[in-house]
Amino acid sequence: MSKNDLLFGIHSIEAVLNNEPERILEIFALKGRDDKRMNEVISLARRHGVSVSFVAKKTLEDRADGESHQGIIANARTARVKTEADLDEIIAANDQPFLLILDGVTDPHNLGACIRSADAAGVHAVIVPKDNAASLTPVVRKVACGAAETMPLIQVTNLARTMREIQQQGIWIFGTAGEAESAVYDAKLTGPIAIVMGAEGSGMRRLTREHCDHLVSLPMAGSVSSLNVSVTTGICLFEVVRQRGL
């Protein structure tokens, strides 16, 4: 892992300034841009003593390597990777833990969108395997619109073992599978719960599937057989929110 992270986009940089300002080393902003949102972030950075340099558009584009930067980029210290020990603390701190498990989601845009939905739904942590899965890249942080700076992303070495351990702590695990006979709307999604999403295309791995307490599906009425993993994630998470609200 590199010593520093490159952050780009107003939401992600603002979120780090609000939550971990000590991580931001320097900021590069588009010369000549003068609008309220940009000025708010620059003012926030200066209040925390962060150096802000105004540069040409090409300089930003070269640093962003083709990704959308919204006219602002930050060089930041790499955030600490959260592990199983952090997950235990999160579970212990919540009466009804609400977790999202992503089994091998490799597309950074999908991971960022899932983190954003998880944050909006009140999920306490997102769990991913260390290997063969996307991690917190600048693209993920940008797509998550600041949620990546507040939503704990737990990287685990053995996903099946982690699932067994959270089950032992009274958390029911619901996996999503297209062939499952029970619809997500018919499942009882209250109490301590973890929702599992499979990888793009291939779905959950066999061992992950075997460690789920229940399998659920989304009823599909049209000609397509499945939805993008981030879309399915949002639907399932907010069904939990709906049932908990009742």
Whether the Cβ atoms of residue 134 and residue 108 lie closer than 8 Å to each other: yes
Measured distance CA(12)–CA(221) in Å, rounded: 37
- How many independent structural domains does the chain possess? 2
Measured distance CA(98)–CA(156) in Å, rounded: 17
| Whole-number Cα distances in Å, 25 to 33, 73, 162 | 21, 11, 35
Boundaries of domain holding 25? 4-77
The answer on 221 and 166 residing in a single domain is: yes
The answer on 115 and 218 residing in a single domain is: yes
Listed residues 45, 60, 77: the one ending a domain: 77
The answer on 111 and 9 residing in a single domain is: no
The answer on 88 and 69 residing in a single domain is: no
The answer on 234 and 168 residing in a single domain is: yes
Mean pLDDT of 114-125: 97
Mean pLDDT of 30-41: 91
The answer on 123 and 40 residing in a single domain is: no
Listed residues 77, 94, 128: the one ending a domain: 77
Nearest partner of 19 among 51, 54, 52, 44, judged by Cα: 44
CATH number of the domain encompassing residue 22: 3.30.1330.30
The answer on 191 and 122 residing in a single domain is: yes
Residue 40, classed as helix, strand or coil, is helix
Name the residue with higher pLDDT: 246 or 198: 198
pTM of the model: 0.86
Nearest partner of 237 among 71, 115, 110, 70, judged by Cα: 115
**What's the DSSP call for residue 200?**
T
Question: Does the pLDDT value for residue 2 go beyond 70?
Answer: no
Listed residues 77, 100, 117: the one ending a domain: 77
Q: How confident is the model over 174-193, as pLDDT tens digits?
A: 999 888 889 999 999 999 99
**What does the pLDDT read at residue 185?**
95
Measured distance CA(210)–CA(195) in Å, rounded: 14
